[in-house]
Amino acid sequence: MSVPENFPKWATGSGTLRKSDGEWIVDTPDGPVKVRFSEHNAYGVLDHWISLTRDTPVYIPMRVIRNSHGCDLIFTLFRLPEMSAEKFAADVEWVMHDLGSAKAALETNAG
């Protein structure tokens, strides 16, 4: 999951991911969106930032924590100040779907 090229395999709503002028761009149904990924590290930090507008990127903290049976993936979803309860609930549903996709992709690769 730390490899940016794998982002479209688990992040639904994202299409092709490409690098343009040193930045990652993902194609979405709403058009191209800039994505910044945390640097590869040994601590399980998989944070990323999605720039839906030019002004403020959305910070998405994500961690992989090893446990005795494998690992846990922790995804934090913040409710933005201007976000309605309905929109936040839809985002929660979307994230749950993405986590399911991530789990399936990781289990397939663990083989």
CA distances from 51 to 25, 33, 57 (A): 10, 6, 4
Find out whether 52 and 80 touch, Cβ atoms under 8 Å. Answer: no
Q: What is the CATH number of the domain that holds 55?
A: 3.30.530.20
- The pLDDT mean for the chain works out to 88
Distance CA 34, CA 15 (A): 12
Q: Which of 12, 9, 7, 5 is nearest to 91 (CA)?
A: 12
- CA end-to-end span of the chain: 16
Which pTM value belongs to this model?
0.82
Distance CA 53, CA 16 (A): 19
Find out whether 61 and 50 touch, Cβ atoms under 8 Å. Answer: no
Number of domains in the chain: 1
Distance CA 54, CA 88 (A): 21
Query: Which residue range(s) make up the domain with 28?
Result: 4-110
Tokens 């934090």 correspond to 76
Confidence of residue 39 (pLDDT cuts 50, 70, 90): very high
Segment 32-40 mean pLDDT: 92
pLDDT at residue 111, as a whole number: 55
